[in-house]
Each structure stands twice: as C-alpha cells, then as structure tokens.
Amino acid sequence: MINVGTRLADGEIETSGLRRETVREVTNTPDAPPPTREYEFANCGDVDVSAGQSHYLCGLPPDEQHEALECTDDQTVSTPQYSRSRTINADGSRGPWGPWQWNDTFRCVDPEGPTTTDIRTILERDLATLPIPPSPLNVQPDQDWTYVNLDTIVFTDPEPTVLTTTVLGTSVEVRVTPVSFAWNFGDGSDPLVTSDPGKPYPDHTVAYAYPTTGDYTITLTTTWEGAFRLTSGATWEPIAGSTTTTTTRDPMSLVERRTRLVTNP
C-alpha cells in the first residue's frame, strides 16, 4: 500500500507517523449524508496509539517469508507500510477499526531515490488500494418511484480524479480516469456496459425501461485506469491494469398506471 492523500478528502497522508484520512463512499440517499470511510496508515516503527497498544508495527505476516537485505553503504532502507479502515456512520458515530493490513516490505533505496520503474511497479501493484471516490450515480426521475415501460435515465461524472501520494519517499501524483461504466438495474437483466457516462434529460444517452413492477436497486461499477507523474514533472506515465469502484442507489419502486375510457356523467 502506498500512503495516499486525495484532493477530494481532508488532509494528506505522510510517509511516517500515524495519520488518518477520510474518504467518501457514495450512496445516493435522499435527505441523508453519504457514509464515509476513515483510513489510517502507519509505517514500521509507528506506535499504534489509537488502539491503546504499545507494540510497534515491524513484523511481517506469518506466511510471509522475507530474506535478509543486502544494501550498499550509500543505500537507505524503506520500512514496511500498513493500513486499516473503519466506517463513519451518518450520525457521526464510528465503527470498529478493521485489522491492520500489511502492504509493503523492507527494500533498499538508492541515494538518488527510486527510479520511475520502481515507482511504476508499486503503483501497478497497489492501484486497487487507492482511495478513489466512487462515481456519482444520478437517476432521473430523481425520486423513489417511477413508471414501468418508460425510460429511467442514468448518468455520472466522467472527470478524472488526481490523488497525491508518496511512493518510496518520492512525491507522486496519480490520475485515475473512468473508462467504462457497468449499470446494473437490479431486475435480473444483464448489466448495461458503456463507455458513455450518460447525460441528463433531455439529452440523455443511457437509459433503461423496466418491464415489470417491483422494487429495484441500481448499481454503478466504474472501471478506472491510472497514470502517474512526479509532482514536479509534466509527463504522465501509464500504469498497467485497472481498478473499479461501486456506487449503489437506494431502492426505487416501479409502478404501473393504466388508463381506461369512461362515459360522461
């Protein structure tokens, strides 16, 4: 795991010291704030003060074999990194912390710093762990019910997100761009997969007409691809692979209205 701070969240995560970051997880809930998840990052040698413990985070997982490092005199040793998270509820209360997750190992770092290849290797491995804010899921009509056999319109925001992170002691910007959207309308039909983020009415391009009544939950799974650059640099370097985020809307009722002819009274 790389220590991460995002421009969309409060604060930045540094490479040492026990720090926290709050990341919004989008769930469209009328008249209620969306839930958030709080992440805590630590390096080997940081005391787990928040949990009331006095031990240091310097061990490796039981099933992880680690050979002794043979660094040169001019190299430094980067220490393992750990992370854990918990939910912040809508009323402000916090759930319990999850277990610490081991994310990186000891490694030798050259005096001139890590190479672009070193940074890319870690980012490719850890892209899925970045706290990417999920894409917003917009639905029209924007209400908790609508009619069957009429278009239910969906759309999202296609803009990239830029995260600020530190990799092997080097400040790096990571840009994640949404490249595909899987719209699951919750009625058993196959997800509608598009590269189109959709648009609102009347210029809408992504919609679905429910054939039957019922209560359905719409879910949007966004696939992101990444690129990185040194904060002081100008060239974006691609990161191999992709990652996904998921956004879920509250259930929506599909109802049916029938017309009939009546005689004048």
Give the model's confidence band at 127: pLDDT under 50 very low, under 70 low, under 90 confident, else very high: confident
User: What is this structure's pTM?
Assistant: 0.65
pLDDT at 43 over 70: no
The maximal CA–CA distance of the chain, rounded, in angstroms, is 100
pLDDT at 16 over 50: no
The amino acid present at 3, given as its one-letter code, is N
3-state secondary structure of 15: coil
Q: What is the pLDDT of residue 66?
A: 56
Q: What is the pLDDT of residue 257?
A: 80
198-255 confidence digits (pLDDT tens): 999 999 999 999 999 999 999 999 999 999 998 666 789 999 999 999 999 999 999 9
End-to-end Cα, the chain, rounded Å: 74
Residues 175-204, mean pLDDT to the nearest whole number: 97
Helix (H) or strand (E) holding 126: helix 116-126
Q: What is the pLDDT of residue 28?
A: 39
139/153 Cα distance (integer angstroms): 6
CA torsion sign for 259, 261, 262, 264 is: positive
Q: What is the pLDDT of residue 184?
A: 98
Contact (Cβ atoms closer than 8 angstroms) between residue 231 and residue 164: yes
Backbone angles phi, psi at 127, to 5 degrees: -55, -40
3-state secondary structure of 122: helix
The set of residues, in sequence order, having a beta carbon less than 8 Å from that of 258 and lying 6+ positions away, is: none
Residues 49-74, mean pLDDT to the nearest whole number: 56
144-171 confidence digits (pLDDT tens): 999 999 999 999 999 999 988 777 767 7
